[in-house]
Amino acid sequence: MVDPDEILLRADEHMDGAVEALKRELNGIRTGRAHPSLIETLHVDYYGAATPLKQLGTINAPESRLLTIQVWDRGAVRAIEKAIQQSDLGLNPAIDGQVIRLPIPPLTEQRRKEMVKMVHAKAEEARVAVRNVRRHTNDEFKRAEKDGHISQDDIKRHEEELQKLTDSHVSRIDAEARKKEADLLEV
């Protein structure tokens, strides 16, 4: 037997996943202020394996415009430096033994506008993901109706609930995008 409430619950979880993925993506966009999430997921070629930076050292933001990485393995310092230089973050690492310092330069107006466009694109990707979940869930409802598990009245009610879920997740996505945009445009 198909439980429509369970189908809605799964849809809600998938939509939550899209919102969380957007939050993680937005954390990686530089705002001009130092924050460890800016580089912690950067992949470093560590002995042939792509390893997230946060697994190779301790990342701190001792000042608003400085990140430090206390590297645990001296052999990883050059690989981390190379990964940072090859990233699109525009940061220049300064090495001091096993500590890498990353001064965060202020963003130019043009770069801020580019970043805002990137935020809008990522938010749109998240909205599309939420709408895809809605479409798949509606298809599931229609299959259940066709198989005789749900009545048409129940389908209408559940489709309305699904639309409310979709709207609430899209508004959460919009709020996250607005918050990041405000951070980026703050001088």
At 182, is the secondary structure helix, strand, or coil? helix
Residue 107's pLDDT is 77
Residue 187's pLDDT is 59
Residue 185's pLDDT is 82
pTM of the predicted structure, to 2 decimals: 0.71
pLDDT > 70? residue 1: no
pLDDT, tens digit, 9 for 90 and up, residues 52-78: 989 999 999 898 889 999 999 998 999
Query: Between 160 and 40, whose confidence is greater?
Result: 160
Residue bearing tokens 């709207």: 167
What domains lie within the chain, and their CATH numbers? 4-27+108-185 (1.10.132.20), 36-103 (3.30.1360.40)
Percent of the chain residues topping a pLDDT of 90: 51
**Could you tell me how many helices (H) and strands (E) the chain has, helices first?**
4, 6
